[in-house]
């Protein structure tokens, strides 16, 4: 019985290898006749959505989310202007960005469609602020999005 099983297993492997190398016949439509060149820098990411909030621990945060048509990794620039100006810019290494507002593990970039968050200083003065955000896919900047808020 064991000998017969070993022979069948060997034949199955041999037939599978032959099918892999030779193919099953017919036209091979999986390979294009001319090579396809994939290039970065096609279309810019979408204008970021913005989210502002406070965690249950009392930390204020700003979040940005953009989608890139080529699914490139994204870096964000968030500028907060008011009684004080804060600049969080991943392309320049300014500020720390997180995948959640309560995280303590900074990240260097985000997947297309993934929210990126910055924590605001606890001593941020109350007042009226304008928050601006753009996303960068390595080649193109997204359109700007902004909102006004009072803290």
pLDDT at 22: 40
Q: Whole-number mean pLDDT of the chain?
A: 81
pLDDT surpassing 50 at residue 114 = yes
45 SS3 class: coil
Q: Which residues contact 65 (CB under 8 A, 6 or more apart)?
A: 48, 49, 51, 113, 114, 115, 116
pLDDT digits (tens, 9 = 90+) for 14-60: 444 433 334 444 443 333 343 333 445 589 999 999 999 999 988 89
CATH fold of the domain at 49-150: Immunoglobulin-like (2.60.40)
For the chain, the structural domain boundaries read 49-150
- For the question of whether the overall pTM of this predicted structure is more than 0.75, the answer is no
- Buried-exposed string 27-64: b where 16+ CB fall within 10 A, e elsewhere: eeeeeeeeeeeeeeeeebbbbbebeeeeeeeeebbbbb
């Amino acid at each position: 019985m064991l000998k017969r099983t070993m022979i069948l297993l060997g034949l199955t492997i041999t037939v599978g290898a032959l099918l892999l190398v030779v193919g099953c016949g017919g036209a091979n439509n999986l390979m294009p006749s001319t090579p396809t060149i994939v290039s970065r820098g096609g279309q810019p990411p979408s204008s970021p959505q913005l989210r502002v909030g406070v965690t249950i621990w009392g930390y204020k945060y700003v979040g940005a989310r953009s989608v890139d048509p080529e699914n490139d990794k994204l870096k964000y620039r968030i500028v907060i202007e008011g009684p004080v100006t804060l600049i969080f810019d991943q392309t320049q290494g300014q500020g720390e960005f997180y995948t959640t507002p309560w995280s303590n593990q900074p990240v260097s970039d985000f997947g297309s469609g993934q929210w990126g968050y910055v924590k605001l200083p606890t001593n941020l003065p109350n007042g009226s602020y304008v928050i601006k955000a753009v996303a960068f896919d390595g080649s193109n900047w997204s359109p700007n999005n902004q909102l006004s808020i009072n803290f």
